[in-house]
Every structure is written in C-alpha cells, then in structure tokens.
Amino acid sequence: MKAYIYDEEDLSDYQNNHDSGIAVSEKNLNDLGVLYFNYSDLKDVDSLAKERNYRNRDQIVLNPQTENLKQKLDMFIKEHIHEDEEIRYIIDGSGFFDVRSADEKWIRCKVEKNDLLILPSGIFHRFTLDSTNYVKALRLFQDEPKWVALNRPVDLSNQYRKQYEQKYLSSITV
C-alpha cells in the first residue's frame, strides 16, 4: 500500500492517482485508526478474522463487465461513514481508499493484491477503482454482511462518529 495526501488540483477523474508527492506514514494512518496488513496467504487473513471476531465474509468484483459499474463507483466515491469497521482484503487488482485526516485533507491509500485495510467505524472515507478498472476483494464482517453508508453531511450526533472523534481525533494536533 502507498499512502499520500490527495492532490485536489485536478478533480476531473477520481480514478487518477492524484498523488501530491506528500507521503503519509503507516503510523499516521494508525493514529487515525486505519490498520494495514499485507498477507500473501489467505491463512493469515483467516487468523486475523478469528482474532478480530470477523465471522462473515463475501467477495466483490468490480470491472468493466460489472452491471451498473459507473453507478456503483459514483456511490462508493461519495464521502461517508459506516457504523461498523470496513475490512477489505485485495485478492487481485487495485483501487483507492481515501480517508479524511484530522485536518480534513484526503489521504489516498492505493491498495493492491495482498493488501488488507481496516477502517474504523465513524471515519469519513470513500473508495474508487484506479485506472486498471479492476478489483477483486474479500469483505469481512463481524456480523451479517451489510454495507450501509451514511453520506456526509452526517448527523454529528451519530454515536459512531462521536466515538471515532473521541478515540482518534481528540489526541491529534493539526
């Protein structure tokens, strides 16, 4: 995975790299509650799932043959939060997860084969494919598989957003 500040100069295509040249460290991501792993063996993913109590999983494939691909990407690129962790293991292909920094900048995380990313509940984020237009990902869930996005603006009294702010953002100085 490569993480960097998102360059907002040219917003014409969200599938472009938008690399500002300003790197973001794994520690900076950890401070935001974002966890990164690289596993070439699915057994390691299974061990993490057991350790973190992820009981369910499914797969998603996005490519030019995906029905309504443009509409799905338009939905995924909208800034949102979830009330559950978002866990994605990239089986093949690549894409971008963008997460909000404490000072409201986008941090772009390029994920590729064998990357596993865990986004905490309550973090503002979005996803898109890169220019390869292909990803196959394993989605892990603690409970039944669900994907409920609360698009920004989110009610700031949302308990998951408040918990996220208290746990992660309150200790970060910008």
Whether 112 has a binding-site annotation, put simply, is: no
Whether 82 has a binding-site annotation, put simply, is: yes
Per DSSP, helices labelled H in the chain are 26-31, 42-51, 69-76, 159-167
Whole-angstrom distance, CA of residue 91 vs CA of residue 73: 19
Q: Is the dihedral of CA 2, 65, 41, 55 positive or negative?
A: positive
Give the residue carrying structure tokens 């299974």: 46
Whether 125 has a binding-site annotation, put simply, is: yes
Q: If you compute the radius of gyration of the chain from its CA atoms, what whole number of angstroms results?
A: 15
Whole-angstrom distance, CA of residue 48 vs CA of residue 54: 8
Strands (E) across the chain are located at: 2-6, 19-23, 35-38, 56-62, 80-81, 86-100, 106-112, 115-119, 125-129, 135-141, 150-151
Whether 165 has a binding-site annotation, put simply, is: no
Q: Which residue numbers belong to the known binding site for Fe(2+)? A: 80, 82, 86, 125
Q: Which residue numbers belong to the known binding site for Ni(2+)? A: 80, 82, 86, 125
Q: Which residue numbers belong to the known binding site? A: 80, 82, 86, 125
